[in-house]
Amino acid sequence: MLLIDLLNNGIYDDARVITGHKGLTREVQTVNIMDCPDIIRFLRPNELLLTNGYFMKQQPEVFIHLIRDMQRLRCSGLAIKTKRFELPIPDEILHEADRIEFPIIEISDVCLSLGEILQRSTSVILNNKSDELQYALSIHKKFSEMIMRGKGISGIIQSLSKLLSAPVILLNNKWKTIASTNQNANITELTAAAVNALHDLSDTSSPTSLCLLDSSLRERRCMLVYPVKTYRHEGYLLSFHTPDQWTGLYGLTLEQASNVIGMELTKSQAVKERSRRHKNEFFSDLIEGYITFEQEALNRGKKYGLRKGYSCVVLAIRNDEAAALKGDNLTEQEEQYEHIKRHFGALEHSFTMFTKHDTYCILLSIPDSGWDEVKLTEYLIGMLKHLHHENGMSMSVGIGKPAMNVLGVRHSYTEAVNALQFGYRFKRKQFVQSYQAKDIGYLFHMLPHDELKQFYESTLDGLLQIADESERKELLRTLNAFYETQCQLVETSKQLFVHRNTVVYRLEKCERLLDVRLKDPAESLRIRIALAIEPLLLQKD
């Protein structure tokens, strides 16, 4: 209980606070009696110390050190009978105690012995604890019954707000509002101020009380924050009040509400996880060929939107960092899953999402109007950029070929994964790769590395012998640009940002070193192939 509440009890009717009045809001958990100079070794935080001050009269210099040590230990205060041994309290000690807001209470006029004060104070504290426990049980039961009746988290927030006569907000761990008091007009301003205050906190894992500095929120400037937890940190339960609204049961009410909300979130997560696991198992069976009859696939997949004549395409999405999804980092996987699902929710196509190993899979239905892969690819590129910019997620997408029936999902998935693997062979990141968009490099991967290297070196041998590395790279870059622009000198010079005569000079030098005519069809094909092989060789090396 608070020290001021304990002093308001009849035990301390004749007591007088002589300094440190601002510290009367300290919590008192236990009471102790001192009769020796080294009592500080036996004190605990939130403990009120009773003394007659006998040893201080013998050693006055110990008094100031005791006050400072008790402050450091976060003790509740010091209650002293100064008249018992005519112990004066120097002004120095009074000023120091007031400065550090450490309460010193004069109890000389209390007609009880220190032992009786200790006994009765302990009884008051225990009774208060018992009352708090009964209150906590009743509040917990009330909120639990609301959940059982289907009122949900939103109902708890509204009931809590009425109980506390204060606005209440529930935020997730990304500072987004899950539920809030709906009758308060300035709830938006309160939310914004709360998020700003929480951003500045280094630790939000335990209950915290804050004072909002926004002048427009003067009536609700005190904010109490309770973390909401399941197996992970889910968010924050916030209440806003004025200083005079505060009571010892205020935080207890909020604590019980956060506990019930945490249990409801745990239950919801368990239901969602079980449903998702069943869905993943079904699609895993379908993809791996354990479901061989279309009717079986339709019966089991009906709940996921599969039907006869269903046309779809599979998108395979994977984190570019191979280690990112390994291990037991379930929180990160869940967040990535929800981010991807939210982005696909903006599409006009209906879809079903599932996971297989480290791959997020989207089963995207093809509308009757047809399949526009170009438009989808553009959307996916924008989505990947947004995921990386907003959430720091580096993802890539592989697109399979359309499946014209339910059993075709298996082949579309395999094609999507192959498209992903093809993009990763070139060490690309944040790419969208269609299974139908493979280039000549895919064929090169099927040839032995030594054979490719021999062809490359024999074709470009004259250029590779140049000792100056910068000149060699410049000539190869010019050759590449020349062929990419269909042997157009003007376009080549534009692409390289050099004068046309410079391009002519470089190409003539290439012809001399390679002893070929660059526009000869057979030679140009050979050189193009060698230039296409170069990235593969660099990748292997």
* Residue 477 pLDDT: 92
Q: How confident is the model at residue 324 (pLDDT cuts 50, 70, 90)?
A: very low
Does residue 533 or residue 397 have the better pLDDT?
397
In a shared domain, residues 155 and 258? yes
Residue that terminates a domain, selected from 268, 297, 318: 268
Residue that terminates a domain, selected from 403, 438, 473: 438
* Residue 222 pLDDT: 82
- Decide if 100 is inside a domain: yes
Q: What one-character DSSP code corresponds to residue 405? A: S
Does residue 1 or residue 415 have the better pLDDT?
415
* Residue 216 pLDDT: 65
- Decide if 279 is inside a domain: no
In a shared domain, residues 531 and 452? yes
Average pLDDT over residues 43-67: 83
- Among 12-21, 35-44, 240-249, 393-402, the minimum mean pLDDT is found in 240-249
In a shared domain, residues 43 and 90? yes
* Residue 343 pLDDT: 86
- Among 326-330, 401-405, 478-482, 496-500, the minimum mean pLDDT is found in 326-330
Residue among 226, 231, 216 nearest 186 (CA): 216
pLDDT at 215 over 70: no
Q: How confident is the model at residue 183 (pLDDT cuts 50, 70, 90)?
A: low
Average pLDDT over residues 67-82: 90
**518, 511 contact by CB (below 8 A):** yes
Q: What is the CATH number of the domain that holds 33?
A: 3.40.1390.20
Amino acid at 178: I
pLDDT digits (tens, 9 = 90+) for 235-278: 899 888 876 666 667 778 888 888 899 898 888 888 888 999 99
Average pLDDT over residues 200-205: 75
Give the integer Cα–Cα distance in Å for 35 and 44: 16
* Residue 438 pLDDT: 53
- Decide if 259 is inside a domain: yes
Give the integer Cα–Cα distance in Å for 499 and 503: 7
Give just the sign of the alpha carbon dihedral 494, 500, 505, 511.
positive
- Decide if 16 is inside a domain: yes
Give the integer Cα–Cα distance in Å for 271 and 277: 10
Range of the domain at 35: 3-125
Q: What is the CATH number of the domain that holds 478?
A: 1.10.10.2840
* Residue 181 pLDDT: 84
pLDDT at 381 over 80: yes
pLDDT at 457 over 70: yes
In a shared domain, residues 114 and 157? no
pLDDT at 327 over 50: no
Sheet containing strand 208-211, edge to edge, reads: 177-180, 168-172, 233-241, 222-229, 208-211
E strand map for 20-150: 30-33, 47-51, 77-80, 104-106
pLDDT above 90 covers a percentage of the chain that reads 30
Average pLDDT over residues 78-104: 87
List the Cα angle 449/455/456 in 5-degree steps. 85
CA dihedral of residues 409, 415, 419, 425 (deg, nearest 10): 130
Into how many domains does the chain fold?
A: 4
Residue that terminates a domain, selected from 417, 438, 459: 438
H helices, E strands: number in the chain: 19, 15
Q: For tokens 């170009």, what's the residue?
A: 374
pLDDT above 70 covers a percentage of the chain that reads 92
pLDDT digits (tens, 9 = 90+) for 482-522: 998 889 999 999 889 899 999 999 999 999 999 999 999 99
φ, ψ (nearest 5 deg) of residue 31: -130, 140
Give burial (CB, 10 Å; 0-12/13-18/19+) of 279.
Answer: middle
Burial 133-164 (b: 16+ CB within 10 A, else e): eeebeebbebbbebbeeeeebeebbbbbbebb
Q: Strand, coil or helix: what is 314?
A: strand
In a shared domain, residues 314 and 432? yes
- Decide if 134 is inside a domain: no
* Residue 326 pLDDT: 47
pLDDT at 328 over 50: no
In a shared domain, residues 192 and 299? no
* Residue 177 pLDDT: 87
E strand map for 183-273: 208-211, 222-229, 233-241
- Decide if 400 is inside a domain: yes
In a shared domain, residues 428 and 469? no
- Decide if 485 is inside a domain: yes
- Among 115-129, 175-189, 260-274, 298-312, the minimum mean pLDDT is found in 175-189
- Among 45-49, 141-145, 299-303, the minimum mean pLDDT is found in 141-145
* Residue 128 pLDDT: 78
pLDDT at 353 over 90: yes
Give just the sign of the alpha carbon dihedral 122, 125, 127, 133.
negative
In a shared domain, residues 330 and 401? yes
* Residue 499 pLDDT: 93
In a shared domain, residues 434 and 447? no
Average pLDDT over residues 68-74: 91
Give the integer Cα–Cα distance in Å for 108 and 131: 30
**143, 53 contact by CB (below 8 A):** no
Q: What is the CATH number of the domain that holds 171?
A: 3.30.450.40
Average pLDDT over residues 394-418: 91
pLDDT at 48 over 70: yes
* Residue 65 pLDDT: 87
* Residue 62 pLDDT: 81
* Residue 217 pLDDT: 64
Q: How many residues are recorded in the chain?
A: 541
In a shared domain, residues 460 and 381? no
Residue among 405, 406, 403, 401 nearest 436 (CA): 401
Give the integer Cα–Cα distance in Å for 257 and 461: 76
233-237, 277-281, 322-326 — which one is most confidently predicted on average? 277-281
Per the prediction, the chain carries an average pLDDT of 85
* Residue 325 pLDDT: 47
In a shared domain, residues 218 and 174? yes
- Decide if 384 is inside a domain: yes
Residue among 262, 253, 167, 178 nearest 212 (CA): 167
Q: Is the pTM of this model over 0.75?
A: no
Q: What is the CATH number of the domain that holds 387?
A: 3.30.70.270
CA dihedral of residues 478, 481, 487, 493 (deg, nearest 10): -70
pLDDT digits (tens, 9 = 90+) for 340-350: 888 888 777 78
In a shared domain, residues 397 and 459? no
